[in-house]
Structure 1
Amino acid sequence: MQLRELAAFLNTELRLADIKDYPNAVNGLQVENLGEVSRVAVAVDACEYILRAAVEQGADLLIVHHGLFWSGLQPVTGALYRKLKIALEADLAVYSAHLPLDAHPTLGNNALLCDALGLPPEREPFLDLGWKASLKISREELSDRLARAVGGRVHVAPGGAGTIRSVGVVTGGAGGEVFKAAQAGVDAFVSGEGPHWSYTAAEECGIDLFYGGHYATETFGVKALGALLESRYGLPWQFIDHPTGL
């Protein structure tokens, strides 16, 4: 496959031009190669470990959620130099999709975590990027479902009554939006991580707050993109796991 064709398809599918993001997210093709793609690797973070692993696996396209340029304009030294050197010497292209991947209605981290939690398909937009749905469930059962979905520990701030009838989901680091979540009328707010004060804020707002981990809640979207490229173009793909525990 031609890299430019794949990148154009992803840009359109993820609506990069329509979804605002942090300026340094630099969504889309961040590093190009000589033009050919035969194997895809997907991962959450474009860190040095991931780039080396992608090269070792023979990938010529790496798709990530968190790209290379979060620090903005900077000298090409240190870790940035090493990462670019890895990619350029191995002819590895790097494509990044941050908030557009969070927000996608079927391929996005938020939608797929909702699916994994067993939320019904009748959902409403929630806090710009996420989704909310009605679901009668206990606090304990929702915590168990989240733990199974992310494959790890869940931290719960039990600020609500424990009987949940509506759930809002925003993956990643959205926990600081607990006040907005409460104002949106949900009984439970599921995210990846948040600030220290969000625990007591949940108590004071009267909602149950669930943290499944920033990394763990954002593995869904890149895996979905890998599967999509395989089904559409026949490209083999592999997820490279490098969990942070955060």
Structure 2
Amino acid sequence: MDITRFIAALEQIAPPELAEDYDAGRIGLIVEGREDIGTVCCALDATQRVADAAVRAGADMLIVHHTPLWNPVTAVRGPTAHLLRTLLAAGMNLYVMHTNFDHAESGVNDVLAARLGLLATERMTAGVVGDCSLDPEEIARRLPGGGIRVYGEVGTIRRLAVVGGSGFDPALLREAADLGAEAFLSAELKHSVARASPLPCLEATHYALEAPAMEALASRMGWHYIPDPPHVVVIP
């Protein structure tokens, strides 16, 4: 398929106008490669391991959630140079679906809610609240990549708020509480936010919360999914 038609199809899945303002210039076609798209790979992050796997798969397009070029590039060296050299040498396109995919229907938050079995869901400004019957242990079992941290006293949760990515914003926590949530699941919780939260906070990793949506997208579209969980060593 011609890349112009392919990108138009991607923009139907995750319309760029759904992205947060801070994503300006950081979504869409980040690295330009060949114009004819046949083999497509999908992953959460454009790590070197993912890029190497995409090359082995013969990918013309690699679709990821997080851009590897978050800050303006004023020098091309080190890991950035290695990654770009790999993509450019292979003629591979790199396309980023970030906060636009978070907010899209069947995007990050919807897939996360479905994976946890949330019912009667309502959309928040940047997330989903839904009914359930879950305890923290069951939530951890349903997410890839290990456990979660629990801040506050939590038993069986009857209504849960979920936000993929860094969602522990005081305004979102209040919004979730107003929608009847009994707990809030997201990533990158700050101590000061946890102390002031009106809800118990369940902290998972970005990978646990966002990788399921990229895997589901790949499955839906018939693309190759490349899992790349972070290697974490727990030191007692």
Give the structure-1-normalised TM-score: 0.83
Alignment match, 1:134:
131
Give yes or no for contact 2:53–2:226 (8 Å, CA) kept in 1. no
Q: Counterpart of 1:233?
A: none
Deviation at 1:99?
A: 0.4
Cα gap change, 1:219/1:99 in structure 2, threshold over 3 Å: closer, same or farther? same
Q: Secondary structure at the match of 2:191?
A: coil
Q: Deviations over 1:80-115 (max 9, x none)?
A: 222211111011111101101111221x11111111
Q: 1:3-30: per-residue Cα shift (whole Å, max 9, x none)? A: 2221111012211134334246611111
Say whether the 8 Å CA contact 2:62–2:93 is kept in structure 1.
Answer: yes
What's the CA shift for 1:40? 1.7
User: Does 2:163 correspond to 1:170?
Assistant: yes
Q: Does the aligned pair in 2 maintain the 1:25–1:98 contact within 8 Å?
A: no
Residue of structure 1 aligned with 2:213, choices 208, 211, 221: 221
Counterparts of 2:194 and 2:205, CA distance in 1: 15
Gaps of 5+ in 1: 231-235
In the alignment, is the contact (CA less than 8 A) between 1:65 and 1:222 conserved in 2?
A: yes
1:24-71, CA deviations, whole angstroms, 9 ceiling, x for partnerless residues?
661111112221222222111112232122112322211100012201
Separation (CA, whole Å) in 1 of partners of 2:219 and 2:47: 22
In structure 2, the residue matched to 1:157 is 151
Q: 2:224 aligns with which of 228, 232, 237?
A: 237
1:163 positional shift: 4.8
What letter corresponds to residue 83 of structure 1 in structure 2?
L
Q: Residue type of the partner of 1:43?
A: A
CA contact (8 A) 1:25 1:69 kept: no
Identity in percent: 29
TM normalised by structure 2 equals 0.86
C-alpha contact (below 8 Å) 2:43/2:228 kept by paired residues:
yes
Classify the secondary structure of the residue corresponding to 1:243.
coil
Name 1:190's counterpart in structure 2. 185
Aligned positions of 1:7-26 closer than 5 A: 7-23=7-23, 26=26
Contact 1:45 1:67 (C-alpha < 8 Å) held by counterparts: yes
Question: Do the aligned residues in 1 keep the contact of 2:18 with 2:104 (CA within 8 Å)?
Answer: no
Equivalent residue in structure 2 for 1:123, among 121, 130, 136 = 121
Contact in 1 for aligned 2:112/2:213 (Cα 8 Å)? no
Question: In the TM superposition, what is the alpha-carbon distance from 1:199 to its structure 2 partner?
Answer: 3.3
Deviation at 1:245, TM superposition (A): 4.7
Q: Which secondary structure state, in structure 2, belongs to the residue aligned with residue 197 of structure 1?
A: helix
Render the CA deviation track for 1:106-149: whole Å, top value 9, x for unaligned: 1x1111111111111x22111x22111233x3xxx331232122
Partner of 1:34: 34
Quote the RMSD (CA, aligned, Å): 2.3
Query: Structure 2 vs 1, CA of residues 174 and 214 (structure 1 numbering), >3 Å: closer, same or farther?
Result: same
Query: Separation in 1 of the partners of 2:12 and 2:20?
Result: 14
What is the match of residue 141 of structure 2?
A: 148
List per-residue Cα deviations over 1:188-209 (Å, max 9, x = no partner).
101123123333234xx2x221
